[in-house]
């Protein structure tokens, strides 16, 4: 990490902030692992395929602060950048996605700041995902820090589309040709149809299993 991009009088503050946000990621990941294991124990099924996490780079933080008209300081970084710590949860089905979101929201020590459902209301680009901004307490030796973490929950199909869209935007530096944008929207719609078909098929299989057990 390049600390020189962040103006701050105490050189160790950058390391301390990153330590706190890294600890917040670990706290969320531990919660998810416990919830996934419990779901397996109760339902003999894991709703989470895999988890990705990351800390935003200093250059990305500075770019976002400047874009929003803020000076690049540690204080502004903590106050105005909500996605310094990010967790992405990949699920098989949309039903799993909402189940995981509900389980997280019910955690007594997690404060849900905001929720954005881009599945029920996709972005104009076709982007679909479920976003939660939460605060998680981090217990340090001399204080408790309440740390913001952005959580994105997607199906495998949504994640595949989002990764491809991100690469295309990067190649064109944000100026994607209109026909390519239109094809991406069409692909997003087809991915949503595939998610709906797979969910329906999974529900049918589960129903058959129940009927056989009766």
Helix runs in 44-106, H state only: 58-67, 74-80, 94-105
Our answer to whether residue 150 is catalytic in this structure is yes
Rounded CA-CA distance 78/21 in Å is: 10
How deeply is 174 buried, as exposed, middle or buried, from its count of CB atoms within 10 A (0-12, 13-18, 19+)? exposed
Element (H or E) spanning 195, and its range? helix 178-213
Q: Which residues contact 156 (CB under 8 A, 6 or more apart)?
A: 49, 90, 91, 92
Catalytic site residue from 15, 16, 150, 186: 150
**What are the structure tokens assigned to 111, written together?**
């404060």
Sign of CA dihedral 92, 167, 62, 125: negative
Active-site residue list: 150
């Amino acid at each position: 990490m390049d600390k020189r991009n962040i103006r701050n009088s105490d050189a160790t503050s950058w390391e301390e902030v990153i330590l706190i946000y890294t600890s917040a990621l670990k706290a969320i990941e531990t919660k998810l692992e416990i919830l996934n294991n419990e779901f397996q124990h109760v339902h003999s099924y894991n709703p989470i395929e895999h988890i990705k996490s990351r800390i935003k780079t200093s250059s990305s933080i500075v770019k976002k602060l400047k874009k929003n008209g803020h000076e690049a300081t540690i204080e502004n970084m903590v106050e105005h950048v909500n996605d310094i710590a990010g967790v992405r949860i990949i699920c098989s089905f949309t039903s799993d996605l909402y189940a995981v979101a509900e389980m997280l929201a019910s955690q007594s020590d997690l404060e849900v700041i905001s929720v954005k459902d881009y599945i029920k209301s996709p972005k104009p680009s076709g982007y679909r995902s479920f976003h939660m901004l939460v605060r998680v307490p981090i217990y340090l030796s001399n204080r408790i820090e309440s740390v913001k973490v952005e959580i994105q929950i997607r199906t495998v199909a949504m994640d595949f589309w989002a990764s491809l869209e991100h690469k295309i935007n990067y190649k064109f530096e944000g100026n994607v040709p209109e026909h390519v944008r239109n094809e991406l929207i069409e692909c997003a719609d087809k991915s949503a149809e595939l998610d709906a078909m797979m969910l329906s098929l999974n529900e049918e299989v589960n129903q058959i299993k129940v009927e056989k057990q009766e």
